[in-house]
Amino acid sequence: MGLSGELFIGNERLRSGASFRAIAAATGEALEPAFFAADVVMVDQACRLANSAFAAMRTVSAAQRAGFLESIAEQIMALGDALLTRAATESGLPLARLGGERARTVNQLRLFADELRLGGWQGVRIDPALPARQPAPRSDLRQYQIPLGPVAVFGASNFPLAFSVAGGDTAAALAAGCPVIVKGHPAHPGTSEWVAQAVIAAARQCDMPAGIFSLLNGESYELGAAIVRHPHIKAVAFTGSRTGGLALQKIANERAEPIPVYAEMSSINPVVLLPGVLAVKAEALAKEFVASLTMGTGQFCTNPGMVLALAGPDLDRFTASVADTLKQIAPSVMLTAGIHANYESRVERLLQHAHVNVIARGDAVTSRSCGRAALFSVDASAVLRYPEISEEMFGPASVLVRCRDLAEMLEIINHLEGQLTATLHFNDLDIELARALLPSLEAKVGRLIANGWPTGVEVSHAMVHGGPFPATADGRSTSVGTLAIERFLRPVCYQDFPDSLLPAMLRNDTFVNYPHRYDGEYRVAAADSATESS
């Protein structure tokens, strides 16, 4: 199985005049082959084809889309471990981690396939006609959700499988019925090409219209901008830096027709250690914390970048234990030289900061592009005065915030920007303190974690991987879990149409087979209801 470096525009493979190479994260070596970079003509071509595919998707049922998602999962598995090897070389991530990420990637494709078959995502609401109502009759009104149109997905560097070409955003958009144009991340173009091959093979196998999927590679800012500016693109999904996300949002807002941007950008995921649990578990918590902090060289959106606790001997024990553990952590290679340089400069800024103390660094033995862990300590009052202390350092670095009392801890929490997660460690003695903090924590985040760690995101129905700005550009949604499908849908109402002209899902003999509302009443699918009564 070879790599050609060509682009995918629908089912066509294309070459262009410009190219770039993947860089092996660990060695800095340029890898074979050269990858062609898409130009603006190709952007237009892919977007037009996606728009034609969008029209053609009207005749493709949700069940067929479900089959397509499952086929993508199969085709990805059929790529075998060569995919993982290439991803490991490009990203520097360990094979075991990438094996887990592949499992997550195919699981989320299958989860969306199941979700499509349940049908509740279409949000069917039927208000039957009331011809005799006074003072005026009511029309027959039927609502469902339809796809927005072609979606631009920006692959993320830190999940070359699960948040990239066929990752969560692509799965959700395809599930919704939206064609997808992926702007491939230049850090893993080989991984991208193979996954794109899998998607295209699945599309052919399942008779999807050409243009349902395209992959445009490239290194330039202008490529991404051209995709977001294209009038056929109706929504954007992005995972990456705050700078990158805000730039795309600005472009989207300045279009003649503004479009939604779902950008997951920046989070320091505060972890609060309450005194009761800290008194009895300081050392165990320290070990768990370091494991969460340094996992994947800290390159998770949910990395615990801030710890809040009350100053005192228990916190000192926790701190000492973290320092002991952290010193033994060998630095590991980061995703790209750029990410490494950015990490180093953020760490350096805190090392030089007059109000920040360094508590511990990871093991000093380091090689090229390796991220050396760092734990800082600071008084709460400094956090309020120096906003740079609360800025994300993408990598294995965290700031321990010493609070005088609960009031000061609450002040810090209220002062924080929006976050993906907040974590609370407590035991029975801390329940009232936890209760006092929870409203403020909830106001800041998309997910609250009790006595655990923020890294590790379950792909399920109840998961929220989102949160208020700047954690994401749009806190009204999630990028992980089945709720993500709603980002790519909008409601439409049919008034007084005969059954023969209604969309399939809204017809009299069909809607009862799906969860729906009838005159406001919540009803499950007829089959489930029958099972319940039996």
Which positions from 125 through 144 interact with a second copy, judged by CB under 8 A? 125-127, 135-136, 138-139, 141-143
What are the C-alpha distances in Å from 438 to residues 384, 406, 430, 431?
A: 20, 12, 12, 10
Decide: is 450 part of the binding site for a second copy (CB under 8 A): yes
Decide: is 202 part of the binding site for a second copy (CB under 8 A): no
Decide: is 461 part of the binding site for a second copy (CB under 8 A): yes
Give the whole-angstrom CA distance, residue 469 versus residue 492.
28
| Nearest-approach distance from CB 95 to a second copy, in angstroms | 15
| Nearest-approach distance from CB 103 to a second copy, in angstroms | 8
31 vs 438 by CB, closer to a second copy: 438
Decide: is 520 part of the binding site for a second copy (CB under 8 A): yes
| Nearest-approach distance from CB 139 to a second copy, in angstroms | 6
Judged on CB neighbours under 10 Å (0-12, 13-18, 19+), 313 is: exposed
Decide: is 407 part of the binding site for a second copy (CB under 8 A): no
Other Cβ atoms within 10 Å of 269 Cβ, number: 28
295 vs 339 by CB, closer to a second copy: 295
Decide: is 351 part of the binding site for a second copy (CB under 8 A): no
Of the residues 301, 344, 370, 403, which is catalytic? 301
Decide: is 475 part of the binding site for a second copy (CB under 8 A): yes
Give the whole-angstrom CA distance, residue 516 versus residue 526.
10
Decide: is 257 part of the binding site for a second copy (CB under 8 A): yes
367 vs 451 by CB, closer to a second copy: 451
Decide: is 82 part of the binding site for a second copy (CB under 8 A): no
Helix (H, G, I), strand (E, B) or coil at 255: coil
Window contacting a second copy (CB under 8 A); options: 84-92, 118-126, 324-332, 356-364: 118-126
Decide: is 281 part of the binding site for a second copy (CB under 8 A): no
Decide: is 519 part of the binding site for a second copy (CB under 8 A): yes
| Nearest-approach distance from CB 214 to a second copy, in angstroms | 21
Q: What angle separates helix 95-118 from helix 81-91, to the nearest 10 degrees? A: 120
Give the whole-angstrom CA distance, residue 420 versus residue 302.
7
What are the C-alpha distances in Å from 407 to residues 183, 227, 273?
A: 46, 48, 15
Give the whole-angstrom CA distance, residue 137 versus residue 127.
12
120 vs 312 by CB, closer to a second copy: 120
Binding a second copy (rule: CB under 8 A), the pick from 31, 469, 507, 513 is 469
What are the C-alpha distances in Å from 272 to residues 119, 286, 375, 399, 499?
A: 39, 13, 16, 12, 56
Q: Which of residues 140-199 bind a second copy (CB under 8 A)?
A: 141-143, 146, 148-149
| Nearest-approach distance from CB 473 to a second copy, in angstroms | 7
Give the whole-angstrom CA distance, residue 213 versus residue 180.
5
Give the whole-angstrom CA distance, residue 458 versus residue 462.
9
Decide: is 521 part of the binding site for a second copy (CB under 8 A): yes
| Nearest-approach distance from CB 509 to a second copy, in angstroms | 18
Decide: is 29 part of the binding site for a second copy (CB under 8 A): no
Window contacting a second copy (CB under 8 A); options: 70-78, 185-193, 206-214, 437-445: 437-445
| Nearest-approach distance from CB 98 to a second copy, in angstroms | 14
Binding a second copy (rule: CB under 8 A), the pick from 260, 362, 371, 396 is 260
Decide: is 118 part of the binding site for a second copy (CB under 8 A): yes
Q: Which of residues 484-503 bind a second copy (CB under 8 A)?
A: 489-498, 500-501
What are the C-alpha distances in Å from 52 to residues 46, 56, 171, 183, 211?
A: 10, 6, 20, 19, 7
34 vs 246 by CB, closer to a second copy: 246
* Cβ contact 401:383 at 8 Å: yes
Binding a second copy (rule: CB under 8 A), the pick from 30, 55, 280, 407 is 55
- Among left, alpha and beta (phi > 0; psi -120 to 50; other), residue 456 is left
Binding a second copy (rule: CB under 8 A), the pick from 381, 474, 507, 512 is 474
| Nearest-approach distance from CB 437 to a second copy, in angstroms | 10
Decide: is 91 part of the binding site for a second copy (CB under 8 A): no
Binding a second copy (rule: CB under 8 A), the pick from 198, 473, 485, 505 is 473
What is the rounded radius of gyration, in angstroms, for the C-alpha atoms of the chain?
25
Known catalytic residue at 301: yes
Binding a second copy (rule: CB under 8 A), the pick from 435, 499, 504, 508 is 435
* Helix ranges (DSSP H) in 295-405: 313-327, 337-351, 380-385
Known catalytic residue at 264: yes
Tokens representing residue 427 in the block: 């035991």
Other Cβ atoms within 10 Å of 156 Cβ, number: 26
Binding a second copy (rule: CB under 8 A), the pick from 243, 345, 508, 529 is 529
- Among left, alpha and beta (phi > 0; psi -120 to 50; other), residue 217 is beta
Binding a second copy (rule: CB under 8 A), the pick from 226, 449, 471, 485 is 449
Considering Cα of 8, then 14, then 19, then 20, what sign does the dihedral take?
Answer: positive
Window contacting a second copy (CB under 8 A); options: 245-253, 303-311, 322-330, 352-360: 245-253
What are the C-alpha distances in Å from 290 to residues 236, 365, 508?
A: 35, 18, 57
As annotated, the active-site residues are 264, 301
